Every structure is written in structure tokens, then in C-alpha cells.
């Protein structure tokens, strides 16, 4: 099942936020602020269990930085899975 994501800037760096496909990118960004969003798109799990980012958010008019976001999200999840 595909999920959606956004990546936003903080003082500590970029942070991914993953949410259900039924939510709207723009709706999620209302609480964060669209001015700090750097990319948005979708996530799918490949056959190896690795998450891959792709696509774009129509409501935010932002594309996925496919390779960069894939690395960021997989790294972020591995650091926070303890």
C-alpha cells in the first residue's frame, strides 16, 4: 500500500513526515507551514522491503526528490526504530 510523505526543514536539518494515502499533502502542511516544505510525494515498499519515494504532490506543486528522499527516509526510520 502506498503512503504519502513530505520533507520539511528545521533548524536541525530535514525531517520526513509519513502519513496515510487518504490524507492530502496540503492539509498536513497546514500545521507545519508550506514555506518549510522542500519535497513531497509517495512511498512504496519494494520487493526487498526497502522504501522508495516517487511522484509529486499536486496540491503543493512539489516533486519527490526520489533518490535523496528515499535515502533520507530509510536512514531516518533506521535511526528511530529502537
In this structure, are residues 39 and 63 in contact, taking their beta carbons and an 8 Å threshold?
Answer: yes
**Which 8-state DSSP code applies to residue 3?**
E
Show pLDDT as tens, one digit a residue, over the chain (82 residues): 689 999 999 998 999 999 999 999 999 988 888 789 999 999 999 888 889 999 999 999 999 999 999 999 999 888 665 5
E strand or H helix at 45: strand 37-45
The three cell numbers of residue 10 are 528545521
The three cell numbers of residue 66 are 526520489
Q: What is the pTM of this model?
A: 0.88
Q: Where are the domains of the chain?
A: 3-79
Strands 56-57 and 62-63, by their bridges, are antiparallel
Amino acid at each position: 500500500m502506498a503512503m504519502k510523505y513530505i520533507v520539511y526543514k528545521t533548524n536541525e536539518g530535514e525531517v520526513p513526515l509519513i502519513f496515510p494515502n487518504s490524507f492530502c499533502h496540503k492539509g498536513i502542511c497546514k500545521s507545519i507551514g508550506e514555506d518549510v516544505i522542500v519535497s513531497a510525494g509517495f512511498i512504496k515498499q519494494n520487493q526487498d522491503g526497502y522504501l522508495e519515494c516517487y511522484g509529486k504532490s499536486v496540491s503543493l506543486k512539489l516533486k519527490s526528490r526520489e533518490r535523496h528522499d528515499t535515502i533520507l527516509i530509510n536512514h531516518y526510520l533506521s535511526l528511530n526504530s529502537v
